[in-house]
Chain A
């Protein structure tokens, strides 16, 4: 325990931890302001596009029947996937008592919440009559109508809703003691603010007693949840009969992909962030090394899944499946298909080397590949499968337009905006959990209670 702790935080005292983390909440640097500005600008692009969609109709986007879902659903799945890494690190690794999660889990949990917030917008953006999206909710109405619980889309509503609520609670609960810590370090209006947010936390033994338990159960609940959510998302496709979608492998395949993409995003966020907030000694190579191993694992699962998809298509002898997968590799969308395979299956294999796992520049570049690759994975699965399904006469290829890219850009802006604001407002490193790792000083040397 102690040794592990020292491996990641060489000789830090509780006091120093508090000091350094609270320091991150100080006045923003120039780089930070620039990034925030960029995020807000992107977000506005999205808003303008959405207004145009409301006014003119979805026709503005490049939909080309039979491709009835395209960039929006792709991006939806992408963001849901991003979320998964956060919960994995914060909840599942917590249950496994994995020591290296503590430094990074707060940031990743926040990433989860904001990713789901982003994803949650897409089902609304992509439907034909956005103003009646609430018809998907089971609320009593004068028409006596209820939604169709057999529809995977309704499962989505519940899965995403639950996931957002639970991961938000999980994040907030984790934050309370740290906010209290900040409260006791700052002064003036900020003290008042944090005092309000700390919900009267004092760190008394009773509070800790219930808190540790509650946190454990939340983690225990979040663990099956995170596995279920992307399974449900995958069933949006697997439950249909479209060749290329209708596969039993989808749930595990999507969950693995989700975590893979999520960690990719963790790299993309943390590597700049630790520079920006000077957290180099709290978030160390040690953490990235472990994250890298996780990426390697999930990446290899994806590699396997891709191989299996093609194998099953061939082995099934099902002509529809075979055509779909042949065209996926050699059809009009070959470039997308290969982008996905190279970025995910092959690039991830570089992480076999410790040198690369601990080289932040390399990791950052790889993480960009992962993000691109995983976006294209969804794009390929959704678009190429729809482009050529059962009725050859109806086949057609998608041509995305500015409206597609506008919303995509907007989603990144929206996400980045929230993440940056969070990083400046709340401790992105879990103070109390790190302290838990670092033993308090004792009077009597040697002995151990």
Chain B
């Protein structure tokens, strides 16, 4: 009997520990974001990307500079997020719209922008590494969520990219329970066929 009790207790502790660890991880996101609190994003070289969380991109595109420091609206680049299921990836044209003139402040950013210009010159699209990949059997209509939560709601799922030098996955978008929590909280239907068809 004592053994049984021990076993049960142990499991409980273990679970609690895991739960705590997870919470810690998510809070860690916040702290890392808090690291660059000032409006001007820190100066980082492409070489630093290795230290940063998230996958390395072909071009070291800084959301913290574009969306954070310069306060460019998400929808300026992700143009279809409010009207379509897909958020839309900015076309080369969109990038060059600014970067024809903007060449970058420091050597690091200059180098990155040069990559962009070369790609544009050769009409080669840049293949960004995808960070959020929602399983194909679940349908997430972006526009409806933007409609419901407002144009700045992106952070709800994608985290505060305005503070991310390199974007990383804050939430596992394929964790169904995480979607459900939000739907329950906001008393939105959690009927299966709302997302799965």
Residues of A within 8 A of B (CB): 141-144
Minimum Cβ distance to chain B for residue A101 (Å): 35
Residues of A within 8 A of B111 (CB): none
A-B interface, 5 closest residue pairs, ranked by CB to CB distance from nearest: A142-B177, A143-B176, A144-B180, A144-B177, A143-B177
Q: Which of B156-184 contact A (CB under 8 A)?
A: 175-178, 180
Residues of B within 8 A of A143 (CB): 176-177, 180
Q: Could you list 11 A-B pairs, sorted by A, with CB under 8 Å?
A: A141-B177, A142-B175, A142-B176, A142-B177, A142-B178, A143-B176, A143-B177, A143-B180, A144-B176, A144-B177, A144-B180
Q: How far is the CA of A144 from the CA of B175 in the complex (A)?
A: 11
Q: How far is the CA of A144 from the CA of B177 in the complex (A)?
A: 6
> Closest residue to A142 on the B side, CB-wise?
B177
Tell me if B's interface is mostly helix, strand, loop or mixed: helix
Residues of B within 8 A of A144 (CB): 176-177, 180
Residues of B within 8 A of A142 (CB): 175-178
Tell me if A's interface is mostly helix, strand, loop or mixed: loop
- Number of residue pairs spanning A and B whose beta carbons lie under 8 angstroms apart: 11
Q: How far is the CA of A141 from the CA of B175 in the complex (A)?
A: 11
> Closest residue to A141 on the B side, CB-wise?
B177
Minimum Cβ distance to chain B for residue A143 (Å): 4
Interface size on B, residues (CB 8 A): 5
> Closest residue to B179 on the A side, CB-wise?
A143
Residues of B within 8 A of A141 (CB): 177
Q: How far is the CA of A142 from the CA of B177 in the complex (A)?
A: 5
Minimum Cβ distance to chain A for residue B6 (Å): 21
Residues of A within 8 A of B176 (CB): 142-144
Minimum Cβ distance to chain A for residue B25 (Å): 15
Minimum Cβ distance to chain B for residue A177 (Å): 24
Q: How far is the CA of A158 from the CA of B176 in the complex (A)?
A: 27
Minimum Cβ distance to chain B for residue A277 (Å): 38
4 further A-B contacts with Cβ under 8 Å, apart from A142-B177, A142-B178, A144-B177, are: A141-B177, A142-B175, A143-B176, A143-B177
Residues of A within 8 A of B177 (CB): 141-144
Q: How far is the CA of A147 from the CA of B175 in the complex (A)?
A: 19
Minimum Cβ distance to chain B for residue A199 (Å): 15
Residues of A within 8 A of B178 (CB): 142
Minimum Cβ distance to chain A for residue B147 (Å): 25
Q: How far is the CA of A64 from the CA of B22 in the complex (A)?
A: 48
Q: How far is the CA of A142 from the CA of B171 in the complex (A)?
A: 14
Q: How far is the CA of A144 from the CA of B180 in the complex (A)?
A: 8
Residues of A within 8 A of B175 (CB): 142
Residues of A within 8 A of B180 (CB): 143-144
> Closest residue to A145 on the B side, CB-wise?
B176
Minimum Cβ distance to chain A for residue B100 (Å): 47
Minimum Cβ distance to chain A for residue B88 (Å): 29
Q: Which of B4-47 contact A (CB under 8 A)?
A: none
Q: How far is the CA of A30 from the CA of B176 in the complex (A)?
A: 58
Q: How far is the CA of A204 from the CA of B2 in the complex (A)?
A: 25
Minimum Cβ distance to chain A for residue B161 (Å): 25
Minimum Cβ distance to chain B for residue A46 (Å): 32
Q: How far is the CA of A143 from the CA of B184 in the complex (A)?
A: 13
> Closest residue to B184 on the A side, CB-wise?
A144
Q: How far is the CA of A142 from the CA of B175 in the complex (A)?
A: 7
> Closest residue to B190 on the A side, CB-wise?
A144
Q: How far is the CA of A142 from the CA of B178 in the complex (A)?
A: 8
Q: How far is the CA of A189 from the CA of B52 in the complex (A)?
A: 60
Q: How far is the CA of A246 from the CA of B176 in the complex (A)?
A: 38
> Closest residue to B192 on the A side, CB-wise?
A145
> Closest residue to B177 on the A side, CB-wise?
A142
Minimum Cβ distance to chain A for residue B55 (Å): 24
Q: How far is the CA of A289 from the CA of B197 in the complex (A)?
A: 61
Q: How far is the CA of A144 from the CA of B178 in the complex (A)?
A: 10
Q: How far is the CA of A141 from the CA of B180 in the complex (A)?
A: 12
Minimum Cβ distance to chain A for residue B194 (Å): 14
Minimum Cβ distance to chain A for residue B188 (Å): 15
The digit string for B58-73, where 1 denotes a CB below 8 A from any CB of A, is: 0000000000000000
Minimum Cβ distance to chain A for residue B21 (Å): 15
Q: How far is the CA of A143 from the CA of B138 in the complex (A)?
A: 13
Minimum Cβ distance to chain A for residue B179 (Å): 9
Q: How far is the CA of A313 from the CA of B175 in the complex (A)?
A: 51
Q: How far is the CA of A152 from the CA of B126 in the complex (A)?
A: 54
Minimum Cβ distance to chain B for residue A225 (Å): 24
> Closest residue to B176 on the A side, CB-wise?
A143
Q: How far is the CA of A402 from the CA of B184 in the complex (A)?
A: 50
Minimum Cβ distance to chain B for residue A385 (Å): 31
Minimum Cβ distance to chain B for residue A141 (Å): 8
Q: How far is the CA of A141 from the CA of B178 in the complex (A)?
A: 12
Q: How far is the CA of A137 from the CA of B98 in the complex (A)?
A: 56
Minimum Cβ distance to chain A for residue B185 (Å): 13
Q: How far is the CA of A9 from the CA of B168 in the complex (A)?
A: 79
Minimum Cβ distance to chain A for residue B183 (Å): 11
Minimum Cβ distance to chain A for residue B134 (Å): 15
> Closest residue to A143 on the B side, CB-wise?
B176
Minimum Cβ distance to chain B for residue A129 (Å): 13
Minimum Cβ distance to chain B for residue A131 (Å): 16
Q: How far is the CA of A144 from the CA of B176 in the complex (A)?
A: 8
Q: How far is the CA of A235 from the CA of B175 in the complex (A)?
A: 36
Q: How far is the CA of A143 from the CA of B195 in the complex (A)?
A: 13
> Closest residue to B180 on the A side, CB-wise?
A144
Minimum Cβ distance to chain B for residue A323 (Å): 36
